Amino acid sequence: MTMSEGADAPGNGLGHNAACPVPNCSIPVDLILRSSDQELIGAHKANLEHFSDGFPSADTVSDSKEPVDLSENGTTLKLLLSGMHKQKLPTLSGLGSDQLLALAEAGEKYFVYGVMAACSEHVRAESRLVKDGRTATAYFAYAAKFGYVDVADAVAPFMVDLDTTYMKSRLIGYDTAFLAWMRYREQFVALSDALTSIPAYVYVATPMDGCTAWANYVAAMRVTLPMTVKGHLKLLRGATFDRLEGIFDAHYGMLTQTCRCRSGACCAMAGAWKAELRKDLLATKPFSSFL
Ligand SMILES: [Zn+2]
Ligand SMILES: [Zn+2]
């Protein structure tokens, strides 16, 4: 960007070339904002007053022709300012999750109600598609900060295998959310126990003398299943049974082929073990029930 007065900054006598981000906007620029990445952006005091509750008010900056420094980056500020005009809000569908969340946070911070509402709706929809832990945590932090419980519930299952130290660092100042997440995660740690020590209720039948199918099945499962809680949590990530089901089923064929019990004892126990785990996983409570 050149620092000379440009034709694209109509009515701007402030000594900086900074246009309004809305194409063909005819409102005079009477305030210049500087983003964290040093971009100068033209704004209209009247619009800031009208569309937001937290922006540096016209009063506080009226004597200054100097740009007002803000902590948001240029992309975010331009979208935010676009949302402070009498026109449709900028489309959010092309934004990556980082950009979307940055805009959503800025909307909340400056009380730009239109942007707040549009972003929270879009975040709510997007949160249901999140699968990786890093993105889930970013959505979760936004949800914890501004009280969007359904967003937190949607992404929490993808955070069960994250380090508590990492989570603590992402939730500084939001201890209630952090503690609730710890308790939420504890449910999955408890499931990990049922993977390492087969619950007593599984031993409902006794294999026929000499049938080693069940013992072999258990041994094979022990070799395949991770040895650590962390490994189990990875398997349970997303709170779906799919990955575990794959492991159970992979060994089931061997069991049915080698079991000689007429009562079907070995197969019954394998079935009970899997069914109970699936039931326990489905019975885990959503994150918000720990708030
Ligand atoms: Zn404008
Ligand atoms: Zn058997």
Longest dimension (CA), the chain: 96
pLDDT at 200: 81
Out of 32, 64, 87, a domain closes at 87
In a domain, 62, yes or no: yes
Those residues with Cβ within 8 angstroms of residue 268's Cβ, 6 or more apart along the chain or in another chain: 204, 205
74 Cα to the center of ligand 1, angstroms: 15
Q: Nearest ligand, CA of residue 259? A: 2
| Neighbouring residues of the ion ligand 1, judged by CB less than 5 Å | 20, 22, 25, 27
Residue 266 alpha carbon to ligand 2 centre in Å? 4
Q: What is the pLDDT of residue 195?
A: 86
Ligand 1: distance of its center to the CA of 47 in Å?
A: 8
Chain CA centroid to CA 222, Å: 33
164 assigned to some structural domain: no
Domain region containing 105: 89-159
Assess contact for 232 and 225: CB atoms under 8 A. yes
Pair 130, 156: CB distance under 8 Å: no
55 burial (CB, 10 Å; 0-12 / 13-18 / 19+) is buried
The whole-angstrom separation of Cα 54 and Cα 89 is 19
CA of 267 to the centre of ligand 1 (A): 71
Clarify whether residues 95 and 65 are in a common domain. no
**Residue numbers in the chain where pLDDT is lower than 50:** 1-11
